[in-house]
Amino acid sequence: MDPANTVAIAEAMFDIIDLVGEFEKPIFVSYDKSICAHSRSGQTGCNNCIDNCPTSAITSDGDHILVNNEICDGCGHCSASCPTGAIAYAMPQRSDLIGRSQVLLSTYLGAGGKNAVLLVHESSHGGDLISAIARFGDGLAENILPFSVHSTTHIGHDALAAFFTSGAQSVILLVSQKNRNELDALNIQIDLTNTFLDGMGFDENMRVSLLVEDDPDIVAENLSAIPAIKTPAIKNFTASKNKRETARLAIGNLNAMAPQKLELLALPTGSPYGAISINTDTCTLCLACVSACPASALGDHEERPQVSFTEHACVQCGLCKTTCPENAISLTSQFNFDKSALSPVVLNSEEPLECTRCGKPFGSKSAIDKVIGILAGKNPMFQTSKQLDLLKMCDDCRVISMSETEKDPMTFGTVPQTLTAE
Ligand code: SF4
Ligand code: SF4
């Protein structure tokens, strides 16, 4: 309901009086906290769903988020903007949405149809409007394929890219004027999809457009203005429930269809794809970034100090950057089409430092050098080279070595007599 429409609000208030009894409310989204990138160790990473929920149904809950299903209105902004797929729309699920669009487009194209324009609309908004266009005036052109969904705003760039791989020439998202103030998240998804289409050199009419309109005449005018273009051969795929896998398949197939095939595409800052780089001069291989990464994009090595990075898994949440005590990490928004993005690459590595007493590997040279630099001559316990040598030993040898010195820190000397009031 349009909050500015006072008459509609008054009518709704009267209707509420008669609404007595029980009702069932759908649960619109599912949430998998194991892949949520909201927060780690008190640092905030992704806040997309919280920032974009128009009903404030999503709140922060430590490292994760909480969805209040009683308040959730089912708009799906959270699902569209979630970089990991942790929060996912359930009416329908991603795989069903894409599968249904593939059936519609392949049926139309298989029957000899050309220049398919997918007109995505909400069942509660576009149905009557499209019916009016079909019955009056010039009618609805045969290449306009209405595609009804519960909410237009739940559609992310993964599904938008998939519509083109299935043969859509253009995609129009029809939204009611009453939702005009809640379109930021959808616009980001549209811009991201169009950035891919633009970078790949597709015809300028092969794009996603947003049409915020309630007037059938204006909608009809906009639809009739879409020129027919030469469309590439389709490249369908089977979508899964996994958002990032589905997106990579859709974007990869789009690239395979493109006039200009890309290996790397720079994306706007804040996009959910990209790389990180580590300044190896300042990185001490403390591995705080590996522990902070919620997407398993960063990994370590069992036997040596090492950070490796898998680009495809990185959602650019920035938690590694904010967690790094040395400010050694920087982020770059980009999409890497090369297969190398799927495998880990080593960003920094060192031979492990061996204990000077027993020879056991116990840490990284950079980290120990950094600690020595901080403590040497400044801390009363680390004034001499002999005292600093303790830092080059493993935990066990350090304790043994300290107990062997003349000044055993465990020796307290004579305990002073306890003073009492007597
Ligand atoms: S990762 Fe998804 S569910 Fe987690 S905070 Fe971001 S948008 Fe919300
Ligand atoms: S590598 Fe950094 S930016 Fe990428 S997902 Fe992991 S913590 Fe986030």
- DSSP secondary structure, 35-86, as one string: G--SEETTEE---HHHHH-TT--EEEETTEEEE-TTT-----HHHHH-SSSS
Atom of ligand 1 nearest to the CA of 84: 1
> Residue 60 sits in a domain of what CATH number?
3.30.70.20
Residues 366, 341 share a domain: no
Residues 235, 109 share a domain: yes
Nearest ligand to residue 57 Cα: 1
- Within a domain: residue 153? yes
Token pair 């487009």 is found at: 105
Atom of ligand 2 nearest to the CA of 313: 5
Q: Where in the sequence is the domain holding 79, given as residue range(s)?
A: 25-89
Instruction: With beta carbons less than 8 A apart as the criterion, state whether 288 and 297 touch.
Output: no
What pLDDT is stored for residue 409 in this prediction? 54
> Residue 314 sits in a domain of what CATH number?
3.30.70.3270
Centre of ligand 2 from the C-alpha of residue 246, in Å:
20
Provide the sign of the torsion angle of the four alpha carbons 130, 136, 137, 142, taken in this order.
positive
Instruction: With beta carbons less than 8 A apart as the criterion, state whether 278 and 348 touch.
Output: yes
Cα separation, 65 vs 56, in Å, equals: 12
ipTM above 0.95 for this complex: no
Q: Whose CA is nearest to atom 2 of ligand 1?
A: 82
Atom of ligand 2 nearest to the CA of 315: 5
* H-state helical runs in 60-178: 77-81, 94-110, 126-135, 157-165
Listed residues 349, 366, 390: the one ending a domain: 349
Atom of ligand 1 nearest to the CA of 48: 7
- To test the pocket of ligand 1, the residue of 58, 72, 82, 242 to mutate (highest count of ligand atoms within 8 Å of its CB) is 82
- Residues 273-298 have pLDDT tens digits of 999 999 999 999 999 999 999 999 99
Residues 191, 58 share a domain: no
- Residue 264: what residue type? L
Along the 422 residues of the chain, how does pLDDT read in single tens digits?
A: 777 888 888 988 888 888 888 878 889 999 999 999 999 999 999 999 999 999 999 999 999 999 999 999 999 999 999 999 999 999 899 999 999 999 999 999 999 999 999 999 998 888 999 999 999 988 999 999 999 999 999 999 999 999 999 999 999 999 999 999 999 999 999 999 999 999 999 999 999 999 999 999 999 999 999 999 999 999 999 999 899 999 999 999 999 999 999 999 999 999 999 999 999 999 999 999 999 999 999 999 998 999 999 999 999 999 999 999 999 999 999 999 999 999 999 999 998 889 899 998 888 888 888 888 888 888 888 888 888 888 889 889 888 888 887 565 555 556 667 777 65
- Within a domain: residue 17? no
Atom of ligand 1 nearest to the CA of 78: 7
Nearest ligand to residue 293 Cα: 2
Pocket of ligand 2 (CB under 6 A): 276, 292-293, 295, 297-298, 314-320, 331
Cα separation, 361 vs 196, in Å, equals: 47
Residues 232, 178 share a domain: yes
Pocket of ligand 1 (CB under 6 A): 36-38, 46, 48-49, 65, 78, 81-84, 86-87
Listed residues 349, 373, 391: the one ending a domain: 349
- Residues 155-193 have pLDDT tens digits of 999 999 999 999 999 999 999 999 999 999 999 999 999
- DSSP secondary structure, 387-421, as one string: HHHGGGS-HHHHHHHHHHSSS-TT---SPPPPP--
Q: Whose CA is nearest to atom 6 of ligand 1?
A: 46
Centre of ligand 2 from the C-alpha of residue 292, in Å:
8
Cα separation, 75 vs 65, in Å, equals: 17
